[in-house]
Chain A
Amino acid sequence: MMFKKDLSLLVLILVVGTIVAIINPRFLSPINIANTANLIGLFGMFSIGMGFVIITGGIELSVGSMFALLGVIFIDLLVNYEMNWPLAMLLMVLAGTALGWLHGYLVTEMRLQPFVVTLCGLLIYRGIARYYTNDGTAGFAFGMNFPALEWLTTGRAFGLIPHSFIVFILLALVMGIVLHKSVFGRYLFAVGKNEEAARYSGIRTHRIITAAYVISGALCGLSAIYLAMYTRSISPASHGSFYELYAIAAAVLGGCSLRGGEGSVLGIVLGAILLQVLQNLVNLLGIPSSLNFAVIGGVILIGVLADQQIVRRRAQLKLAKT
């Protein structure tokens, strides 16, 4: 069942990719593929965390604002406080984790709605980020270099495969095992499907839900660093804006149900790939870049609609048989 959904997504990616490649052969050029892979890695990392939250039946809207806030702090720590970068990186991941825990705590123990909690996060973190830099742009001074950090984040293996993509794939493998094979993963699905039955089975549902937000927060902390190193300068008013929507789109395309209890890491990976292929399509086919969002939105809508129709048709066939 899950596998079928992933397969149809893969087919969709291949179809879209083939069409673009036929119209513009540059799609398959090594440079274009490497650049697209880099974006897939950058946007995919936090999409996995979003998937975990969505599987609990929740949502995480503060992702983009977290990137702005953690990004400006990270650059500030490196540039103005001259902190060594592994420590700064660790601090940012911890900060993301803490924010995730806070969201989980508010959702479970304070019984607030995830949408409201993370919407407030979206507003608050963006505001603090702008205040932090006085609405100015945070960036590295000219000639300032962190070779090891740059190798890790923006480097390319064999001069081609972006490290961000490699990190994303490694993360996806680990998180895939966690979600689909571990006790925690099973609990996550149980809580998302039927929180009450999970509770009656002795599962500490609040902890499980909080853990999903914590994982999402930690991945956001990591992504914040990768994005900061990718852009190298951060204007806190716009950095990361709408990135949560990319993550939600990837998760939903990948088969996560906003009602909770459904989803797969493979699906999210494929969803993230499709999104970047679509972005790439807009560029390569000479579609005005202002239409970017409209194209992505349209394709998602058609995809979800088609999927729904196929599911319905299949159910009808099944009924007719019996």
Chain B
Amino acid sequence: MEGEPARCYDRAGFIAPRTDDRHMSALQAASAAPFLDLIDIGKTYPGVVALSAVNLSVAPGEVIGLVGENGAGKSTLMKILGGVTAPSEGTIRIDAAEHAAMSVKDATKAGIAFVHQELNLFDNLDVAANVFIGREPRFGGLLNLIDTRALHEKVTPLLRRLGADFGPATPVAILSLAQRQLVEIAKALSLDARLVIMDEPTSSLTASETARLLDVIADLKKNHVSVIFISHRLQEVERCADRVIVLRDGKVVGRLDRAQIQHDAMIRLMIGRDLKSLYIPPAAPPREVALDLAEVRTAAFPSQSVTLGLRGGEILGLAGLVGSGRTELARAIFGIDRRLGGQIKLLGQVLEIAEPRNAIHRGLYLIPEDRKQSGLVLDFSVAENISLANLPAYARASLVQDNAETRNAEQQKAKLKIKVPSVATRTSSLSGGNQQKVVLAKWLSMSPKVIIFDEPTRGIDVGAKGEIYELMRALADAGVAILMISSDMEEVIGVSDRIAVMHEGRISGILERNEFSEDRVLQLAIGKSLREPPAMKLAMGG
């Protein structure tokens, strides 16, 4: 349970007298009584404990900051609140009614609304239509036409209240991200939301847009609407939260009330776990630079550039927050996206990469983030997937030789310990770890010089993770240069020989193994320079 909800929450001075509120009577009874309680909530996925014994209560008009690293369990918790996922254990209490699980409808009825990181608006409709989608006022009758005037009359005051600088008839397509966020908030208000959950709402906003959003939050608060504010931007959490809940590994590891909310305290709670050692030391010191990036720019951050040297035989971790431009960098190097500028050298030779084929011919491979969408043809067999990138090698006179194809697939299956009854099995029936091994087998059948792993173990169980790390190290020891993009702190610190950290499209710092700490990686990831710079090196030219 919440420790002392009264102390955490009650900052009476903040609550302005309300004029119209349907929760008035409840509030008069006990001004700080929470209307929503999560009690001992746990969520287990096969092989993974996503949440355990989480308690959270929300009282009217309070702003709760929810912080934690990637994978700490924030999004699982939010899915449970939204009724998307059912908890494995625990109780949800809404206005004294207890639920074992909520449906999306229950959540909406309870007044829980979301403003998602990826906004869920219909680009092809106007603002008013989006706010009242599915609930449009109608004329009734046979045609049941939408009463546009009534619709606008309902939407206009909501927009005015939020200080929006656009009208109800504005097409959503022309709105900026910040404006779209206001549309989402207007939608939440139109549903009489009592709790608005904002997931990384400021991650793409400018400073002034952020300030306005914080004003909106203050206004919601004044009207007794509660807000859960999920953000990596701790400064903003500091500015707006009444209390902060810190999640780590699916558990609540800290509750800070207003006076305790400080940047450093939050970071300390977010990290601070003992990493069991994943590190497999390299067999030999790293070789010369294999992949040399000079001022590479991508469309995600056109004004920033990345300069980075990746040595043969090393595993270079590329850390950073989601959206920091790491995947875009990988895609640009591999030729999926056109890069805006800069030069890429492989073993001293300039690479002209217009499409992935060019990279592949030179031994530069990418294991993509989304293996189901980009890494594999799921309906193909294991053998067909393994041969796909190098099919002519298994063909004579342009005809695929099944024997050669199967033989190689069998070899890879044995080498990588892919658990599958036969290489003719459809890839879709394999587990995540084995699918990832198939992607890897595709490239190991060729002659890799550089392999970029984008989130190599996402959604993979612990056992298979270890095997993938061993494979990565074996490759590095064979002289392959490995760039490992990862949002998993344990993985970045446990597996890498060096770590480069990206922040908003640039390399904010590079750490050598003896400087590794979660604190340093996180500091660099949120764009702060390290305060005590014992051995930090800035990226060349960065």
Contact = CB atoms under 8 A, between A and B. Distances in A.
Interface of A: 177, 181-184, 186-187, 189-190, 193-194, 196-204, 261
A200 B376 CA distance: 9
Interface in B346-402: 355-357, 359-361, 366, 368, 373-380, 384, 388-389, 391-392, 395, 398-400
A194 B378 contact: yes
A177 B355 CA distance: 29
A194 B366 contact: no
B336 interface: yes
B378 A204 contact: no
A200 B398 contact: no
A35 to B, nearest CB: 36
B377 A198 contact: yes
B399 A197 contact: no
Nearest to A181: B399
B442 interface: yes
Contact of A193 (B359, B379, B400): B379
Contact of B357 (A181, A197, A204): A204
B379 A200 contact: no
Chain B: interface size category: 20 to 34
A182 B400 CA distance: 5
Contact of B388 (A196, A203, A261): A203
A203 B387 CA distance: 12
B377 A193 contact: yes
| Among B334, B379, B442: residue with most chain A CB under 10 A | B379
A199 B378 contact: no
7 contacts: A183-B391, A194-B373, A196-B374, A200-B356, A200-B366, A202-B389, A203-B388
A194 B377 contact: yes
A177 B398 CA distance: 11
Given A196-B374, A197-B376, A197-B377, A182 B398 contact: yes
Contacts of B366: 200
Contacts of B392: 183
Contacts of A198: 377, 388
Given A182-B399, A183-B391, A201-B388, A261 B379 contact: yes
Contacts of A196: 373-374
B332 to A, nearest CB: 14
Interface of B: 334, 336, 355-357, 359-361, 366, 368, 373-380, 384, 388-389, 391-392, 395, 398-400, 442
Nearest to A180: B400
Nearest to A206: B355
Nearest to B359: A202
A186 B401 CA distance: 12
B403 to A, nearest CB: 13
A190 B398 contact: no
Contacts of B360: 201-202
Contacts of B373: 194, 196-197
A190 B380 contact: yes
Contacts of A193: 377-380
Contact of A202 (B356, B375, B380, B395): B356
B374 A177 contact: no
A187 B374 contact: no
B430 to A, nearest CB: 15
A163 B19 CA distance: 89
A19 B214 CA distance: 77
Contacts of A184: 398
B18 to A, nearest CB: 52
| Among A177, A182, A183: residue with most chain B CB under 10 A | A183
A267 B355 CA distance: 35
Contacts of A202: 355-357, 359-361, 389
A181 B400 contact: yes
Contact of A183 (B359, B368, B395): B395
Given A183-B399, A202-B357, 16 more contacts: A182-B398, A182-B400, A183-B392, A183-B398, A186-B400, A187-B391, A189-B377, A194-B373, A194-B376, A197-B376, A198-B377, A200-B336, A200-B356, A201-B442, A202-B356, A204-B357
Contacts of A177: 399
B400 A183 contact: yes
Nearest to A200: B374
Contact of B375 (A189, A190, A197, A204): A197
Contacts of A204: 355, 357
Nearest to B331: A200
Contacts of B399: 177, 181-183
A186 B359 CA distance: 21
A181 B379 CA distance: 17
A62 B403 CA distance: 40
Contacts of A203: 357, 388
A204 B355 CA distance: 8
A186 B395 CA distance: 11
A149 B426 CA distance: 48
| Among B334, B384, B398, B442: residue with most chain A CB under 10 A | B398
A200 B391 contact: no
A204 B356 CA distance: 9
A189 B391 CA distance: 13
B357 A200 contact: no
